[in-house]
Amino acid sequence: MPARIDALPTPALLVDVAALDHNLAEMARALPGARLRPHVKATKCTALARRQRELGHHAFTCATLREMEGLAAAGLGEDLLLANEVLDARRLGALDARVSVAVDSEATVQAAAAGGVREVLIDVNVGLPRCGCAPEEAGRLAERARQLGLTVRGVMGYEGHAMAVAAREERARLTRASMELLERAHQDVGGEVISAGGTGSFDLNTLATEIQAGSYTLMDGAYAKQGLPFRQALWVQARVISVSADYAVADCGLKALGMDHGNPEIEGARVWFCSDEHITFSSEPLPRVGDGVRVWPAHVDPTVAYHERFQLVAGDEVLESWPIDLRGW
């Protein structure tokens, strides 16, 4: 393993250890123990999940079957929630772990029962046009799940449409409106769990019994605009490979960055655009060919999924390398 950042092949995914430690400790203080169910979709790394467990978070949220299987195999299966609908749950039922799965229809309830899953959460649409049943359908669906022998632990809902709102007051308003819908559904469903929230609402969502935050660990350009108490810990280290009269090009492009939240940032520079393997930017002065560049992604989750490893660094020194071992489906 290279001992210094400038010896790494680029593009490389780097994590500042001090910022990561700060973020983990800050969230553990704000949401101790079971109040946080960390979402591993943001990091896809069992080594990082172990750090979260050491801080008292023993339950995890997953987005994919691969994440569920990887956590279980790593001995982190004390309480796993697949916060996503599946139509073939046999891989879940076979896990040596406590498994719950989100359901929002007759078909997904039947799939859970047929696959050997024992516990479910009723997934409720609270405003984000994605998965989830209508709040008024939640009670009927819970009754059907119980008829099939499933334990209904409670409800979940994701106010994802609020997460990207920079203004705290508006983000709080949207969160409250979403949780009113989820609370109404929970009254019909019952159970001890109300699972919701994320990094953008971790301190605003007071209804949920557990918060499904994940991006707080590494942070990104989008969340950095919200004034949250977490630091940007992750960037893509690139190298300048070409310099023209008024712009420079580094070896980091669309295939190394999540771009759905907009352009990445380079400190002291203006990013023009990204193509497959290049980022074109201007600055004053321009860098030289061979110079290192820190590229800060706007969205951490898909950025992580493009890479095979995290390089943990302190200053210019590479301390450790963690595999991103929960990639894929």
Residue 295 and residue 258 in contact, taking contact as beta carbons nearer than 8 Å: no
Residue 89 lies in a domain: yes
pLDDT score recorded for residue 286: 98
For 163-177, what is the mean pLDDT? Answer: 95
For 225-248, what is the mean pLDDT? Answer: 97
Distance CA 97, CA 241 (A): 48
pLDDT score recorded for residue 1: 59
Distance CA 178, CA 157 (A): 8
Tokens, residue 114: 């047929």
pLDDT score recorded for residue 6: 94
Cα–Cα separations (whole angstroms), residue 206 to 35, 196, 213: 11, 10, 14
Distance CA 1, CA 7 (A): 9
Distance CA 311, CA 67 (A): 21
Please check whether residues 78 and 152 belong to one and the same domain. Answer: yes
Q: Is the pLDDT of residue 241 over 70?
A: yes
Q: Is the pLDDT of residue 2 over 70?
A: no
Judged by DSSP in three states, 329 sits in coil
**pTM above threshold 0.85:** yes
Please check whether residues 147 and 75 belong to one and the same domain. Answer: yes
The CA angle 270-23-325, to the nearest 5 degrees, is 85
Please check whether residues 115 and 180 belong to one and the same domain. Answer: yes
pLDDT in tens, 116-166: 999 999 999 999 999 999 999 999 999 999 999 999 999 999 999 999 899
Residue 225 lies in a domain: no
Q: Where are the alpha helices (DSSP H) in the chain?
A: 17-30, 46-54, 65-73, 90-93, 106-114, 138-147, 160-163, 168-189, 221-224, 300-305
Domain's final residue, options 162, 187, 219: 219
* Domains held by the chain: number: 2
Please check whether residues 55 and 158 belong to one and the same domain. Answer: yes
Residue 329 lies in a domain: no
pLDDT score recorded for residue 284: 97
For 28-51, what is the mean pLDDT? Answer: 98
Q: Which of 226, 212, 229, 198 is nearest to 23 (CA)?
A: 229
Residue 37 and residue 59 in contact, taking contact as beta carbons nearer than 8 Å: yes
Cα–Cα separations (whole angstroms), residue 117 to 34, 157, 186: 22, 20, 21
CATH assignment at residue 259: 2.40.37.20
Please check whether residues 93 and 200 belong to one and the same domain. Answer: yes
| Number of other residues whose CB lies within 10 A of the CB of residue 19 | 17
pLDDT score recorded for residue 164: 86
Please check whether residues 298 and 183 belong to one and the same domain. Answer: no
Q: How confident is the model at residue 167 (pLDDT cuts 50, 70, 90)?
A: very high
Please check whether residues 191 and 237 belong to one and the same domain. Answer: no
Domain's final residue, options 186, 219, 252: 219
Q: Is the pLDDT of residue 3 over 90?
A: no
Report which residue type is found at 53. Answer: R
Residue 213 lies in a domain: yes
For 268-295, what is the mean pLDDT? Answer: 98
CATH assignment at residue 163: 3.20.20.10
Residue 83 lies in a domain: yes
Tokens, residue 201: 């609402």
Distance CA 151, CA 112 (A): 11
% pLDDT > 70, the chain: 99
Tokens, residue 223: 């969340």
Please check whether residues 131 and 179 belong to one and the same domain. Answer: yes
Residue 224 lies in a domain: no
Question: What rounded mean pLDDT belongs to the chain?
Answer: 97
Residue 108 lies in a domain: yes
Please check whether residues 9 and 28 belong to one and the same domain. Answer: no
Please check whether residues 313 and 199 belong to one and the same domain. Answer: no
Q: Please give, one letter per residue, the 3-state secondary structure of 68-92.
A: HHHHHHCCCCCEEEECCCCCCCHHH
Q: How confident is the model at residue 202 (pLDDT cuts 50, 70, 90)?
A: very high
Tell me 216's DSSP state: G
Domain's final residue, options 192, 219, 246: 219
Tokens, residue 210: 């557990």
Query: Domain range spanning residue 291?
Result: 5-13+230-323
Please check whether residues 33 and 111 belong to one and the same domain. Answer: yes
Question: How many residues would you count in the chain?
Answer: 329
Tell me 311's DSSP state: E
Backbone angles phi, psi at 221, to 5 degrees: -65, -35
Please check whether residues 140 and 163 belong to one and the same domain. Answer: yes
